[in-house]
Chains A and B, each alone.
Chain A
Amino acid sequence: MEFIISRYNPETDSEPYDQHYHLPDAEITADMMLLNALQKIRELDPGLSFRSSCQEGVCGSDGMNVNGQNHLSCITPLSSLSTPVKIKPLPGLPIIKDLIIDMSLFYQHYKEIDPFLQATSLNPDREHLQTPQQRSELDGSYECILCGCCSTSCPSFWWNPDQFLGPAALLAAQRFVVDSRDIMPIERLKSLDDPMKTFRCRHIQNCTAACPKGLNPSRAIQSLKARILSHD
C-alpha cells in the first residue's frame, strides 16, 4: 500500500515536502486502522512525527488530513481509503513538525467562550436537579474531544482564524448555553453577539462532515445564532 506523507522539520526544511512510503501488502490486514499503518511506517522511519494516545477515538490527539478530509487516524479504517493515501497535517494552523500542528489558537478560542459551568453555589448534600429532558439538550455537544477536525476544515476559520471562534469553540458555547444548571446563558449569548466571533459562520457545514464523533457543530451554531437574535 502506498502512502504520501507531508514532512516538515523546522530544523532542516524551509518548507513541507511529500515523502513516499510503501508498506508491503503482507503487512496490511483487513481490520487495520490508518494509525496502525503510520506506526509501521514509523518503525522504518523513527523521525516521522504525529500525535497519538488512546488509539480508540476518545482523546482527540491524532487529527490529520487524509485524502483531503480531516480524520482521526485511529478510527479510520485503511480499507476505506483510496491509494496512494495522501496524509497532511490538519490545515489552517501552523505546522510544528510533520503532521503535528500548533493548536494554540484553537485552544485559545475554546477558552474565550468561558467553557465552564457557572452554577449556583455548591450544596454538598444535594446535586443540582436536571430532568432527563433537560439533560438531553447536552447530547451532541458535550461529547466533543477537541481534536480540531471541524475548525481546521472550516473556510471561515481559515480566512479569519484570529477572529472567528470556529465550530469547536461555538459547539462548546452552545453546550453551556443549553445547560439548565448554568446561570449565565444570557451573558454568554451577549458575548457571542459579534459579526466575527460567531456570525462569520457561513453554514458551509464542513465541520459537521469532518467531525469524527458524528456531532453537528453546524446545527449548534445555527441554534446559537437564533438564540442571539431572539435576545436582541
Chain B
Amino acid sequence: MSTTPNIDAPKFKTESYEVLVVGAGGAGMRAALALTQEGHRVAMISKVFPTRSHTVAAQGGINAALGNVTSDDWSWHMYDTIKGSDYLGDQDAIEFMCQQASEIVRELDHFGVPFSRLENGKIYQRAFGGQSQNFGEQQAYRTCAAADRTGHAILHSLYQQNIRLGTTIYEEYYALDLIFDQQGEVAGLMVMNIHNGEYSILQSRHILLATGGAGQIFRNNTNASINTGDGLGMVLRAGLPLQDMEFWQFHPTGVAGKGMLISEAARGEGGVLRNALGEPFMQNYAPKVKDLASRDVVARAIATEVQQGRGCGPEGDFVLLDLTHLDTDTIKQRLPGIRDISLTFLGVDPVEQPIPTFPTCHYMMGGIPTNLNGQVVCPDSQGKQTPVKGLFAVGECACVSVHGANRLGGNSLLDILVFGRQAAKTISQQLQTEQGQPNLNNLSLDDLELSGVRKRIQRWQSKTSYQEENLHSLKQKMQRSMERGCGVFRNQQSMQHALQELEQLETSLQQVNLRDHGKVFNLERLAAYELENLMAIAKATVHSALARTESRGAHSRIDFQQRDDTHWLKHSLYFSAGDRLVYKSVNLSPNQHAPFTPKARVY
C-alpha cells in the first residue's frame, strides 16, 4: 500500500541489482569477481576508480603457510595469529582464515599477481613480525611478497580479472546510506554520482560492505585520504553496533613526522631499529625475536624510547630504522618501494643512511561485527548474535574477528581475500535458494524508509553561512584530539578530555555549512559526508576505549597496565544511540584444532 508521496521530496532514479558491493579494494573486488563469475547481477560501487583504493598501498605481503622457505603449517599460523591478537581474536575465524590461506595465494598467482620468486620458481616468502614455526619456536618465513608492492600487485590483478568478466562498476559514486524497507529489511543504498552530484537509489536485498578502514581519525596515519570509514558510519546510523573499536594499530615505522608507511618487510629483510645512542633497543623489549615482535610491542617500545629521552633528531622525537648493513641488492630488489618513499619524502637513501621513523596509525582491528560467512551480526533481545538479513561486511571495515586486539603483518591482505570470497559464496548460495520466490526488488519509493537519508542530503544543502568553523579545521581538530587522547598510550584522563572535545566538535559539525554549492565534483560536500562518518567512529573509539579498563594488544592504558582475562576477555559492541556498550564472548572453540588457552604474551 502506498501513501501519498511528499511532493517536496526529491525524486530518485532507481536501479536494481541482485547484489551490491560497496567498495572496490581487495575485499570488494574479490567478492565482486566471485559473484560475477557465478552469473549474478552485481554492481560494485566505489568513490574512486578501483585501482585508487587503499589496498594498493599495502607493501609487505600476504601470509600463507606454503612452506616454500621454511617448513610451515596452517596451525602454526593460527597459533601466531591468536597470540598476536592478544587472545581477543575469535579462534574459529582465525582457524578458517589460516586454513584457506594457501589456496587463496595460489589463486592470486593464477589471477596474475607478479609474486617475487625463489630460485626453484615458487613464490617468495619473507620473515615478518610475530610469526613462528611449531607454536612459538624459530622464525617462520610465511609472508608471500611481490617485492614491497604486494597490495598494488594484488589490487591491479583483481581489477584486471574483473575486467575479464565484465563486472559492473559504478566508478566515482559515493554511498551515503543503507536503505531499509518499511519492514526494516535491507532494500538498497543511496548513492551520489560525484561527477554531477545526482542522488539515486540502487535497490538490492544483498549488500556487501567492503569500505575499508578509517585511519583518518588520527593526525598521523598511513591511510589514504579516502579512508573515512563510510561503511561504519552507515551501519551506526542504521542502529547497528561496531565491535572492538578501541583497538587501532599503530604501525611502528611510519616516516617520522609525516606518517607514510615503511613496511615491516624492512625489518623482515634484516633492518634494525636504533635509538639516539645507536643501541638496537628491541632486544630490551623482545629478547627472543627483537625487531620482529608484534607491531603493538614494537610501537610501544619506540614510544617508550622517545619518552625516556633516547629519541633521535633535534627534538628527540623519532628512532632510526637502519638498513645500511643490508646488501644493496636486497634493498633494491626486495624493498624498492620503501626506498622510493624514503628518498622522496626524507631525501634519505636507506642504502646509505637509516630512516627516521615513529609509530603512526595504520589499521583498525575493530569494525562491523560479522560471522565467518561475512554476515553482519547483531545481538537480539536475548543477546544472541543474529545475522542481519541481507547485510554483509568484509575486509578492514568488518570485524570477524581475526585480528583481535592486534593484527599481525601480512594478515590483512589475507583477511580481505578469504572473507571477500567467503561472503560472495554465502550470498551466491542465498540467491540460488531464493530463486523462484517473488522478486523482492523493484519496491516503490514509498515502500522505503528514506527520511533519515533525505534529512542528511538536505542538511548539506543549507546555504546559511556559519563563519566560525569550516569542515577542514573541524577534521584537523578531531585528528589532534584523537592523537593526544587515544594514541599508543592512553589513560582515563586523556580519553575523557578527547571525548569532551569530540562532543564539542560534533556540535560544531551540526552547525557548519558548505561554502561550495556546485554539483559537479563538489569535494567539499563529499568531505562533509565523510567527516560525519569519521566523527561517529572517533566517538565509538573513545567510548569503547574508556570502558575497557585493561591493556590488551594495541589498547595500552597507563592506568590499567595488565591484561585482565577475568573481566575483559570479551568483545565490545558500541551502539551510537545513547553511546551504549554491550559485550560478547570471544570464540575459543575452533572447529578442528584444539583451542589455544590465553597465556602471557612474550616475544
- A residues in contact (CB < 8 Å) with B: 9-12, 31, 42-43, 46-47, 49, 51-61, 75, 96-98, 100, 103, 107, 111, 114-117, 119, 122-132, 134-135, 138, 142-143, 145-146, 176, 179, 181
- How far, in whole Å, are A119 and B346 apart by their CA atoms in the complex? 41
Q: Which residue, of A9, A47, A55, A56, has the highest number of chain B Cβ atoms within 10 A?
A: A56
Residues in B with CB closer than 8 Å to A52 are 225
Chain A binder among B11-19, B52-60, B415-423: B52-60
Q: Are A132 and B117 in contact (CB under 8 A)?
A: yes
Convert B422-444 into 0s and 1s, putting 1 for each residue whose CB lies closer than 8 angstroms to a CB of A.
00000000000000000000000
Residue from A9, A54, A124 in contact with B106 in the complex, judged by beta carbons closer than 8 Å: A124
Q: Are B121 and A129 in contact (CB under 8 A)?
A: yes
Residues in B with CB closer than 8 Å to A117 are 110-112, 157, 160
Residues in A with CB closer than 8 Å to B341 are 56-57
Q: Are B516 and A58 in contact (CB under 8 A)?
A: no
Q: Are A61 and B110 in contact (CB under 8 A)?
A: no
- How far, in whole Å, are A12 and B518 apart by their CA atoms in the complex? 9
Residues in A with CB closer than 8 Å to B516 are 46-47
Check B515 for interface membership: any CB of A closer than 8 A.
Answer: yes
- How far, in whole Å, are A143 and B155 apart by their CA atoms in the complex? 12
Residue from B54, B195, B524 in contact with A47 in the complex, judged by beta carbons closer than 8 Å: B524
Q: Are B345 and A145 in contact (CB under 8 A)?
A: no
Residues in B with CB closer than 8 Å to A126 are 106
Q: Are A97 and B520 in contact (CB under 8 A)?
A: yes
20 A-B contact pairs sorted by A residue (CB < 8 Å): A42-B472, A46-B524, A47-B515, A49-B523, A51-B52, A53-B225, A54-B54, A54-B225, A56-B260, A56-B261, A58-B57, A58-B149, A60-B51, A103-B49, A116-B163, A127-B105, A129-B120, A130-B115, A132-B118, A135-B117
Q: Are A53 and B224 in contact (CB under 8 A)?
A: yes
Closest chain B CB from A110 CB (angstroms): 8
Closest chain A CB from B495 CB (angstroms): 28
Residues in A with CB closer than 8 Å to B514 are 46
Q: Are A53 and B521 in contact (CB under 8 A)?
A: no
Residues in A with CB closer than 8 Å to B472 are 42-43, 46
Q: Kindly identify, within residues 565 to 585 of chain B, every residue whose CB is under 8 Å from any CB belonging to chain A.
A: none
Given A115-B160, A116-B157, 11 further pairs, Cβ under 8 A: A9-B518, A46-B470, A49-B522, A49-B523, A54-B225, A55-B224, A55-B225, A96-B195, A114-B164, A124-B106, A181-B112
Convert B49-75 into 0s and 1s, putting 1 for each residue whose CB lies closer than 8 angstroms to a CB of A.
101111011000000001000000000
Q: Tell whether A46 pairs with B260 under 8 Å between CB atoms, given A117-B111, A117-B160, A124-B107.
A: no
- B residues in contact (CB < 8 Å) with A: 48-49, 51-54, 56-57, 66, 103, 105-107, 109-112, 114-123, 146, 149, 152-153, 156-157, 160-161, 163-164, 195, 224-226, 260-261, 337, 340-341, 344-346, 470-472, 514-516, 518-524
Residues in A with CB closer than 8 Å to B103 are 124
- How far, in whole Å, are A97 and B518 apart by their CA atoms in the complex? 11
Residues in A with CB closer than 8 Å to B523 are 42, 46, 49
Residue of A whose beta carbon sits closest to that of B341? A56
Residues in B with CB closer than 8 Å to A129 are 120-122
Closest chain A CB from B577 CB (angstroms): 32
Closest chain A CB from B173 CB (angstroms): 14
Q: Which 6 A-B pairs give the minimum distances between C-beta atoms?
A: A117-B112, A129-B121, A116-B160, A47-B516, A116-B164, A46-B524
Q: Are B152 and A145 in contact (CB under 8 A)?
A: yes
Closest chain A CB from B467 CB (angstroms): 14
- How far, in whole Å, are A10 and B226 apart by their CA atoms in the complex? 25
- How far, in whole Å, are A8 and B164 apart by their CA atoms in the complex? 36
Residues in B with CB closer than 8 Å to A143 are 149, 152
Closest chain B CB from A140 CB (angstroms): 11
- How far, in whole Å, are A31 and B340 apart by their CA atoms in the complex? 15
Residue of A whose beta carbon sits closest to that of B54? A54
Residues in A with CB closer than 8 Å to B149 are 58, 143
Residue of A whose beta carbon sits closest to that of B59? A58
- How far, in whole Å, are A134 and B122 apart by their CA atoms in the complex? 12
Q: Are A54 and B157 in contact (CB under 8 A)?
A: no
Residue from B52, B112, B156, B521 in contact with A179 in the complex, judged by beta carbons closer than 8 Å: B112
Residue of A whose beta carbon sits closest to that of B514? A46
Q: Are B114 and A142 in contact (CB under 8 A)?
A: yes
Residues in B with CB closer than 8 Å to A10 are 520
Closest chain B CB from A115 CB (angstroms): 5
Q: Tell whether A54 pairs with B114 under 8 Å between CB atoms, given A124-B106, A124-B107.
A: no
Q: Which residue, of B112, B149, B161, B225, has the highest number of chain A Cβ atoms within 10 A?
A: B112
Q: Are B51 and A11 in contact (CB under 8 A)?
A: no
- How far, in whole Å, are A176 and B114 apart by their CA atoms in the complex? 11
Q: Are A138 and B160 in contact (CB under 8 A)?
A: no
Closest chain B CB from A73 CB (angstroms): 13
Residues in A with CB closer than 8 Å to B340 are 57
Residues in A with CB closer than 8 Å to B120 are 129
Q: Are B345 and A31 in contact (CB under 8 A)?
A: yes
Q: Are B114 and A57 in contact (CB under 8 A)?
A: no
Q: Are B49 and A142 in contact (CB under 8 A)?
A: no
